[in-house]
């Protein structure tokens, strides 16, 4: 008679572990690899889009600040009241651009957080039997 080194309980546990590993590979690892590639592409796209838009907005803000400073110097130097209206318009324009840039950053951050939430939900769905 051959003596087995494993008890019936140990074989049952080993079988269940093998089944669990097989299920994890089929239902989790495969879909996760596909999702990771998709998530990376989405993140790269969003990063590039954000970078381009942010660069454009920062340039617009810089131009507005330079224009406001130029008009401010003219008003101070020559004490021209005609330029006072242009200066206040330039200041308002600068403030509007800064506010717009802040709103853009908030919107971008909100989008990134929503994307991360979607990743987390997909991950949890993959873990659910």
pLDDT band per the 50, 70, 90 thresholds, residue 62: very high
Helix (H) or strand (E) holding 1: none
Q: Cα-Cα-Cα-Cα dihedral of 72, 73, 78, 83, to 10°?
A: -30
Amino acid 27: pLDDT: 76
Residue 78: what pLDDT?
76
* Terminal-residue alpha carbon distance, the chain: 42
pLDDT, tens digit, 9 for 90 and up, residues 68-120: 888 888 887 777 667 778 888 889 999 999 999 999 999 999 999 999 999 88
Whole-prediction pTM: 0.62
Length of the chain: 129
Q: Which residues contact 69 (CB under 8 A, 6 or more apart)?
A: none
Which tokens is 106 given?
Answer: 């908030």
Q: Give the pLDDT score at 56.
A: 93
- What is the predicted pLDDT for the residue at 3? 52
């Amino acid at each position: 008679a051959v003596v087995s080194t494993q008890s019936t309980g140990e074989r049952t546990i080993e079988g269940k572990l093998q089944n669990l590993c097989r299920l994890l590979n089929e239902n989790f690892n495969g879909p996760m690899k596909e999702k990771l590639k998709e998530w990376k592409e989405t993140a790269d796209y969003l990063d590039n889009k954000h970078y381009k838009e942010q660069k454009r907005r920062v340039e617009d803000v810089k131009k507005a600040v330079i224009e406001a400073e130029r008009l401010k110097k003219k008003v101070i130097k020559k004490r021209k009241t005609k330029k006072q209206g242009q200066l206040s318009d330039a200041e308002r324009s600068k403030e509007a651009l800064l506010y717009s840039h802040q709103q853009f950053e908030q919107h971008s951050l909100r989008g990134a957080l929503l994307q991360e939430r979607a990743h987390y939900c997909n991950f949890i769905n993959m873990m659910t039997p």
